[in-house]
Amino acid sequence: MNLVLLGPPGAGKGSQAEVLSQRLNIPHVSTGDILRQNVKDDTSIGRRAREYMQKGELVPDEIVIKMVEEFIGSQFLKNGFILDGFPRTLEQAERLDRLLTKLNKKLDLVMDFKTTNPVIIERLSGRRICENCAANYHIKNIPPKVEGICDKCGGKLYQRSDDKPETVLRRINLYYKDAAPLIEYYREKGILESVCGDLGIEALYKVIIDTFLKNLLYDPN
């Protein structure tokens, strides 16, 4: 099964992708995680991406496309994938289609997470990351046992610069600027389904599985 999850930052795509990856045994490919790893490793592509990410701006297509093309072409994804955060523009969608055609693959379903701004801002501004092991927490929904300290390794928790409220709102606006033609592109292909990203993790997971069943992409047995 080859899936694409669309939606603004904080829509719940990453959380659902992790659950689906474990339960369906399909790799989760997060372009955001890959980019941040490149930034952390101070690679050439990471240094270029850092300038945009620190400003809360989208990383240019040329950087993201090159990275994703190399990853999708690997044997790691031979049995399917869940793409989270890509494509985010019409050009990226067209490039992805050409790549999948070349690899004799296709997208089975694109899920559009409809989410309201207040929910997104609360989710992202409350997120905290461990500086050592990169474990994720939330000051309200998934708080650590000791404030500011990672449960897993004892590392210090921090707030990413692109999770601050003013930056989150800018990221949301940038997303919607490019999202309309992208959503229409997949709607015309007949593979787009919309779900409510404001739902909690388990409630939204049930909606997603029901969507799979409707599209005959999932056998519960």
DSSP code of residue 44:
H
Paired with 146 in beta bridges are 149
- Alpha-carbon torsion (181, 161, 5, 34), positive or negative: positive
Q: Is 190 helix (H, G, I), strand (E, B) or coil?
A: coil
Gap between the Cα atoms of 141 and 122, Å rounded: 10
Looking from the CA of 178 toward its CB, the CA atoms found within 13 Å total 21
Gap between the Cα atoms of 83 and 130, Å rounded: 24
As annotated, the active-site residues are: 13, 88, 127, 160, 171
- Side by side, which strands form the sheet with 2-6? 28-30, 81-84, 2-6, 109-114, 192-196
Paired with 156 in beta bridges are 149
Let me know: does 31 contact 5? Beta carbons within 8 Å.
Answer: no
Let me know: does 146 contact 35? Beta carbons within 8 Å.
Answer: no
